Structure 1
Amino acid sequence: MTLPVKNQIIAMIPARYEASRFPGKLMKDLHGKPVILRTYEAAVNTGLFDEVYVVTDSDKIFDAVLNNGGQVIRSQKEHECGSDRIAEAVEGMDVDIVLNVQGDEPFIDKKSLEKLLQVFEQDGAEEIDLASLKTPLTESDEITNPNNVKVITDNKDFALYFSRFPIPYPRDTSARVTYFKHIGIYAFRKSALMDFYRLPMLQLEAAEKIECIRYLEYGKKIKMVETGVKSIGIDTPEDLEKALKLFN
């Protein structure tokens, strides 16, 4: 009997020191350790990955991870987005699936990541270029908030479009559509990630400032996986206060 070949799966955590809303947030203290180190440890502790790396252009972040026994890669180029930063790091690696973990989300939900990775083992997986998470939105202010990227899918849960605008537009309110927020955690096939790295940004991505639109514009297929777990990101000082309380 021939056993199935196991995909080589790694997690990459892109980490910039500068952030427009909360500069230096990844180095802020979260109960004795920087946020980025808490995120790295949480990714390792899931046990889902063959390797976990932080990839950064910051000396502060590089040293914090390295000095605490973590694996870290220094970016050699300037990058506009996390996907480009990861692509540079994995270009020479022999890997199959690359999972992008957000550096400002130290409360990783293992079950959601398991569901995300499982799509690459199911029937029809060969047509999936990358997979990502979505979660239902129920409050009107969440739906209209442009910081919450919304996603619509076809009947097989492949993404049709992402937008900061509420999509679909509720012209008929009796339709009772469920709105979904896109959670920016991706599992890429390496080939799709490298295509993203080499292809130029087009108009829709430039207008919305949503990097995953580039995949759609070039015909890639994004499988969306629903989760009921809300992501907990640290984008503001208020978020950090909430994270400190939750960590307790």
Structure 2
Amino acid sequence: MSTLPECHGIIPARYESSRFPGKPLVELLGKPMFWHVWKRAGQCAALKSVTLATDDERIFKAAENLGVPVVMTSPAHASGTDRVLEAARKLGIDTEAVVVNVQGDEPCLEPGMIDDLLKPFGTCRAMVTTLVSTIGPEEADDPNRVKAVVASDGRALYFSRAKVPFDRDGGLHSYYLHIGLYAFRMQALMRFGELDPSPLEKRERLEQLRFLENGIDIRVTETAHACHGVDRPEDLNNILTILERE
């Protein structure tokens, strides 16, 4: 087994959100949400650095006051991946290094999920990696729960909001739930930035399909860790319960 390349974490944190404006600054146990994400990501020993990438002066100043490394990025980015790319370029990350897109709304992030995400970079010439977990048929019906279809060698075959693969015989099979945590070799991240949004990406509203439609493999690892993301204000009670328990 080869050793991991140099790895860096970047947390995209924009202020504007249709469902929850100002989410990165929401206070949890006396600290803003982005601080909890940064602190937990920093517990992953494989990451050489963890940096916040924002487009908002309020978030930037709050990060500086708390000693969180932060870079200012453009407010015009269409996706978190584009923001991560700009930040990685500003940080001068090497083309052979790996960049982890750490979701900024995961204040209960398990550092072990990042370890799972990085595993393929130590065993093969991975360019992009992501995670899945197993869910049942009823949960898979929800189009907001993105499903992944994975080959026997761990390559992603497709991602969809539809319930895939279709079960013609009507059995009660499990499905792979896609967990939106990504790691990119820097050269793959730069390639993403050069490509136009692809037809399937636009149709499904899933930016990872841009890689697959352009022949860039995504390696998938199943994780036993659960996600506890914050999409709406009503999600905060559950997050506070977890943080207080820990």
Structure 2 SS opposite 1:234:
coil
Relative to 1, partners in 2 of residues 1:132 and 1:55: Cα closer, same or farther, differing over 3 Å? Answer: same
Equivalent in the alignment of 2:43? 45
Match of 1:7 among 5, 19, 26: 5
Matching residue's letter, 1:35: M
Equivalent in the alignment of 2:162? 165
1:169-188 aligned within 5 A? 169-174=166-171, 176-188=172-184
Offset at residue 147 of structure 1 (A)? 1.2
Q: How many correspondences in the alignment?
A: 240
Q: Which runs of 4+ in 1 moved over 6 A?
A: none
Taking structure 2 as the reference length, what is the TM-score of the superposition?
0.93
Match of 2:71 among 67, 70, 73: 73
Offset at residue 160 of structure 1 (A)? 0.5
Tell me if structure 1 keeps the 8 A contact 2:74–2:83: no
Offset at residue 115 of structure 1 (A)? 2.1
Structure 2 SS opposite 1:134:
strand
Offset at residue 111 of structure 1 (A)? 2.0
* Matching of residue 149 in structure 1 with residue 146 in structure 2: yes
Match of 2:188 among 184, 187, 192: 192
Tell me if structure 2 keeps the 8 A contact 1:56–1:74: yes
Which segments of 5 or more consecutive residues in structure 2 lack a partner in the other structure?
none
Identity over aligned residues, as a percent? 37
Distance 2:57 2:46 in 1: 28
Matching residue's letter, 1:220: I
Distance 2:89 2:75 in 1: 13
Matching residue's letter, 1:59: E
Matching residue's letter, 1:48: A
1:107-118 aligned within 5 A? 107-118=108-119
Structure 1 SS opposite 2:62:
helix
Which segment is superposed worse, 231-240 or 75-84? 75-84
1:1-248 aligned within 5 A? 7-76=5-74, 78-91=76-89, 93-95=92-94, 96-122=97-123, 125-126=124-125, 128-138=126-136, 140=138, 142-174=139-171, 176-248=172-244
Offset at residue 179 of structure 1 (A)? 0.3
Matching residue's letter, 2:109: I
Distance 2:157 2:186 in 1: 22
Offset at residue 48 of structure 1 (A)? 2.5
Which segments of 5 or more consecutive residues in structure 1 lack a partner in the other structure?
none
Distance 1:113 1:6 in 2: 13
Distance 1:226 1:119 in 2: 11
Which segment is superposed worse, 51-60 or 176-185? 176-185
Offset at residue 178 of structure 1 (A)? 2.3
Offset at residue 214 of structure 1 (A)? 0.4
Which segment is superposed worse, 193-202 or 17-26? 17-26
Matching residue's letter, 1:66: E
Taking structure 1 as the reference length, what is the TM-score of the superposition?
0.92
Distance 1:45 1:116 in 2: 14
1:151-203 per-residue CA deviation (whole Å, 9 max, x = no partner) reads 001111110110111111122123x5320111111110001100001110011
Structure 2 SS opposite 1:62:
helix
